[in-house]
């Protein structure tokens, strides 16, 4: 009788372990992707394909589309996540899990150059010729930049 009880407990523990290691992450990913796609890709599938094409370009086709989307969604999701706002349990669990791929140093630098300000803001006159620009500090000049005259700095600090 004791052997039957131990075997049932062993079976239950094994199935629980399998569920936590295999099935639970798949459920989390499926539930979180729906929410994150709407936030990260507001323009839809064309925007997603542009990300994939660029990512494949600087990684030289080393990763699958699924791995690329996992990495991009987690990095951009964490960037967009506000600590003070309420976040869905599934999204938070997904974003705080490790990524499927690890980029080397040069790929990480390229990723952050290209995608940290994704999607780039388009200026009114530049949209018709396809030029996309980013404006640091919301277009304001840095008052502490070395090229500013010292009298300007004194006025700002006073």
Domain ranges of the chain: 28-120
pLDDT at residue 35, rounded to an integer: 85
Question: φ and ψ at 142, to 5 degrees?
Answer: -75, 120
Write out pLDDT tens, residues 45-99.
Answer: 888 898 888 888 888 889 999 999 999 889 888 887 766 677 888 888 999 899 8
Residue 67: per-residue pLDDT: 92
Distance CA 32, CA 69 (A): 12
Q: What is the pLDDT of residue 11?
A: 92
Give the separation between CA 19 and CA 103, rounded to whole angstroms: 29
Mean pLDDT of 129-151: 42
Q: How far apart are CA 114 and CA 56, in angstroms?
A: 13
Distances (CA, A) of 51 to 16, 45, 47, 144, 147: 37, 10, 6, 35, 37
The H-assigned helical ranges of 45-143 are 45-59, 65-80, 89-95, 105-115
- The tens digit of pLDDT for each residue in 99-137 reads 889 888 988 888 888 776 676 554 444 433 333 334 444
What confidence score (pLDDT) does residue 115 get? 75
Question: What pLDDT is attached to residue 86?
Answer: 78
Query: Could you give the CA distance from residue 135 to residue 125 in angstroms, rounded to a whole number?
Result: 15
Half-sphere exposure of 122 (CA within 13 A, CB side): 9
Number of other CB atoms surrounding residue 45 within 10 Å: 9
Higher pLDDT, 80 or 142: 80
148 vs 73, residue with greater confidence: 73
């Amino acid at each position: 009788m004791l052997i039957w009880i131990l075997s049932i407990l062993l079976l239950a523990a094994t199935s629980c372990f399998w569920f936590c290691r295999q099935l639970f992450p798949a459920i989390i990913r499926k539930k979180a992707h729906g929410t994150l796609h709407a936030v990260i890709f507001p323009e839809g599938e064309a925007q997603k394909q542009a990300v994939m094409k660029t990512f494949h370009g600087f990684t030289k086709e080393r990763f699958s589309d699924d791995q690329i989307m996992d990495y991009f969604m987690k990095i951009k999701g964490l960037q967009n996540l506000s600590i003070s706002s309420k976040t869905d349990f599934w999204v938070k669990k997904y974003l705080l899990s490790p990524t499927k791929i690890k980029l080397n140093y040069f790929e990480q630098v390229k990723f952050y150059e290209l995608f940290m300000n994704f999607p780039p803001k388009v200026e009114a006159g530049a949209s018709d010729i396809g030029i996309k620009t980013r404006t640091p500090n919301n277009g304001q000049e840095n008052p502490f930049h070395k090229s500013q005259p010292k009298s300007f700095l004194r006025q700002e600090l006073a």
